[in-house]
Structure 1
């Protein structure tokens, strides 16, 4: 498809990337593509077409908020005044950490849409709590995989000058280099490998998912979760994943965890192997030997068939029933990683007219 304009090729992820250097020797690579520990069932074209039809043209009501979401606006002054071990949800799976006086950012997506196109695709429910320009210098950007709701090209390019290093999974770093990020700013890791930066240890750990930015490059790059170890504080960041036995292994090898940041959102019975239902999110937290659960991958984009507020209601309900401490901070609200708070049920004020009684749960206040 070399006849396509360069801008369209970039949007569809069609530009060729030489990944031979980064893929050599990876147990996760079969010579052509990356794979999960437990292979996903092969989906037929008919099922794939049906899923695409439902997602694009057969959405139920309530997948988009009926009002504005509460967002705590942030400034550079707010961040600089905050103590170490502060965490801020900026949206979806974009998380800003303050550790050892420096800033660390996961899966940055500041664009209006999680899409290869600027005028089409899932649109944000809320603005980021802080603009790209106002962000402080970043010690590292940590990337779990290359899907559009986790890796935004324009955001990465905008962050290049203020980011010391991009920590990525295998192959994803090659994309960044292709986009113009200096090679000496990019480090790529396989599962169970990582790096220590200024006393913070980052380790790529397994997840059950897939990758790709077009119809033609599926699983050409690796996906992962990440463990962030700051001495006596351990944090788990799930990226995207279905439920699998790997959570127990991660918990045994690198746990227990003070805080787990685990996806619960964009799930559906039609794709059970790549995203978790809320009860699986809670079970993953238990497998990891976590203390506090913070559900992520929700509240920013319309990526599935469920009501937009359903992940919050369901995961807090399951957590309460199983005795798991769960925190649900607003976008931009500071969370103390050393002593998390439960947070308010802020989504109920937004979604009250659309919430079914069966979705409502009670949660004791801290």
Structure 2
């Protein structure tokens, strides 16, 4: 019993060491590559970069720490999701250039819905953040609503600095939206557009730096270092325990089939293939209405639409049009319309009394 306890304690300590090493040494690749034009992930900007190239716009990636080498005026530098405070070289901007920073940290969240659409000269722009810049003094609002500015411009000498509350203004996830790509292209219009890839880890290195790099340096900069450390810890555990388990062997248990879940999945598949969204809207709509009525404290049986809307307006002081979205005008919706309806129902429930 004592030997078993000692092995268990040693195993827990080793597991804690692996977790700590993973958390503190593992590279922050997701945070660095977010917003990169080399990334095809939803938060990358590869699709927008290709879109600009198809338009014939002069655009290039910047991989150096300083922009002093970009001479002349009329240039545009774009930083997507800068880590920490952006290092602005104001003299370069004041000469008559444009600096665009997508993703402004420390903006307060407002009462605005998370997902909103806004009109622009280039079509509807989809924004997914409730953060806004509330102070309008000394800035020029480019895109915003009654809650504050989403995209705004600050003059600097002969140039300007453009900020956006969200770093995902024209990310890959929005390439099917009507106006996001074109809106950012309009903001960045100039003699030539540069996108800062230096802050995403894509950097030009001199031949001298490359020649002095050792294999140890290379391994420490890659996830292989984490795998090696974990392998060493696991090997020590196995050697110490003589490749034995930390407890008694457990028999395999046969998995149990959940009949209700299997039936629900099968029914959902049939309805999806048949395109019978009205059944889904009717079933979910009734259940959601009952939950809304309970939150409003008006009983457990279904009320008519007018009575429910009146109670909603009186208790939440929200417009009747918001709750009216619970009752779509048509019952048969396509997949995109059905997902939008479910999102509207979720938005309604956020405004219910707690």
Normalised by the length of structure 1, the TM-score is 0.21
Name whichever structure is richer in strand by fraction: 1
Normalized per residue, the structure richer in helix is 2
Higher Cα Rg, which structure: 2
